[in-house]
Amino acid sequence: MLIASSAPKIDRQQSYLTLFEQGFSVMSLLFFAGAAEPLLGGNLSLLTLARYSILMLSGLLALMRWRSTLRTVHHGALIWPLIGLAILSVLWSRSPVDAMDSIKGEILQTTTFALYFASRFRPREQLRLLAIALGIAALLSLFYVFAIPSVGKHLSGKFAGAWRGIYNQKNTFSAYMTLTLITFFVLSSHNERRLERRLSQGFLALSITMIILSTSMTGLI
């Protein structure tokens, strides 16, 4: 009786943890997609806090499933020498301090999250979570274009009128919208769920439109 009564509680806890991990992954992907800066008002302290929070939570969650994490480390053996080389580059860098800051603020963070993400979710789940994050970034960009055009568009200079969404420059915006296009193209092409397929097609059309309106050859090529 004790075992039977505790089973639903364990299932609920597991469900809550899964929801947390999915939400954390989406928020982290949004951070990597450049959506954090406008949402946090460019506050450097908050951005740094978010950066190291992702690092610590990713590491903790990876340790919670250490067997799966070790399998992922083993399967990705070819990439570790490249990461090691990037870390060792501090030895011959012209600016070792800047190189070390980059390692602590970029390489360590992204590598830890990628290790957790790859070990926790199956490829199909990864694609869906990435689609959610990129979809949110696309909608935020659309909001900024129409609600805050001083941020969402280039209003002066040779790029006047070009869309840039939540990003500082139209080429960056176009590059992320190209990634959004690819992600939703794959989802719309290999999805048996009608609603998801329709949503994917909608975001696919939106990303194409945004690439065109960015007037950036980065996305058009």
Neighbours of 69 (CB within 10 A): 19
Taking 70 as the threshold, does the pLDDT of residue 142 lie above it?
yes
Q: Which domain holds residue 153?
A: 122-221
- The residue with greater pLDDT, 197 or 4, is 197
Contact between residue 114 and residue 120 where contact means Cβ atoms under 8 Å apart? no
Type of residue numbered 118: A
In a domain, 138, yes or no: yes
Distance of alpha carbon 145 from alpha carbon 165, whole angstroms: 6
Q: 123-147 vs 194-214: helix axis angle to the nearest 10?
A: 50
Q: What is the pLDDT of residues 58-75, one digit of tens each?
A: 999 999 999 999 999 988
Q: Output the pLDDT for position 41.
A: 72
What percent of the chain lies above the pLDDT cut of 90?
A: 50
End-to-end CA distance of the chain: 64
In a domain, 73, yes or no: no
Q: Output the pLDDT for position 2.
A: 44
Q: Output the pLDDT for position 1.
A: 44
What is the domain count for the chain? 1
Distance of alpha carbon 134 from alpha carbon 55, whole angstroms: 21
Q: Output the pLDDT for position 153.
A: 92
In a domain, 77, yes or no: no
For the record, the structure tokens of 23 come out as 């939400």
In a domain, 46, yes or no: no
Query: Looking at the whole model, is its pTM more than 0.75?
Result: yes
Q: Output the pLDDT for position 57.
A: 96
Average pLDDT over residues 20-27: 96
